[in-house]
Amino acid sequence: MTPEGGAPPRFARGVRFRRMDDGSGVLLVPEGVVNLTESACAIAELIDGVRGADAIASALAASFDAPREQIAADVSELLDAFAKKTWLDRPEPAAT
C-alpha cells in the first residue's frame, strides 16, 4: 500500500494536527494526544488534502538536507502508519 498515485491525503474528521507553543507537534485524535517526532511533524504539517505524497516529499526535500528517496520513503511510511490507524482519508489502494 503506497500513496504514490493516490489522491492527496488529508486528516480524517476527528483528527487534528496541532503545533504547541514550544514548537513540538501533536496529533489530537479521539483516543487521546499523540506526540510526534520532529520529522513526523514536518510531514504532518503538509498533509492538507491538496498535496500528494510526492509533493509532500518534494516540499521537504527543498527544506531539509537529506536524499529525496529517503524523504519519500519516510513520508510513505508515516502515511501508511496514519492510514492503518484510520487517521487519514485516502482512497482505497488499487488492487494489485
Partner 1 sequence: MIAPRPLSLLAELTYRCNLQCPYCYNPLDLGAYRDELGVETWERVLEEAAALGVLQAHFSGGEPTLRADDVCRLARKARLLGLYTNLITQGTFLTDGLIAQLEDAGLDHVQLSLQAARGHGADAIAGATVHEKKVNALQRVARSGMAVTLNCVLHRANIDQVDEIVAIAEAAGVRRVELANVQFYGWAFRNRSALMPTREQVTRASEQVAAAQRRLEGKIEIGHVLADYYERYPKPCMDGWARKFMTVAPDGRVFPCPAAAAITTLKFENVRDRSLSDIWNSSDSFTAYRGTDWMAEPCRSCDRRETDWGGCRCQAFLLTGDASRTDPACSLSPDHGLVDAALSADGASAPWTPRRMRSAG
Q: Interface with partner 1 by CB under 8 A: which residues? A: 1, 12-16, 18, 26, 28, 30-33, 83-86
**Beta carbon of residue 63, minimum distance to partner 1 (angstroms, whole number):** 26
**Beta carbon of residue 91, minimum distance to partner 1 (angstroms, whole number):** 12
Q: Give whichever of 12 and 55 is closer to partner 1, judged by the CB atom.
A: 12
Q: Give whichever of 17 and 60 is closer to partner 1, judged by the CB atom.
A: 17
Decide: residue 61, CB within 10 A, 0-12 exposed, 13-18 middle, 19+ buried: middle
Q: Give whichever of 41 and 71 is closer to partner 1, judged by the CB atom.
A: 41
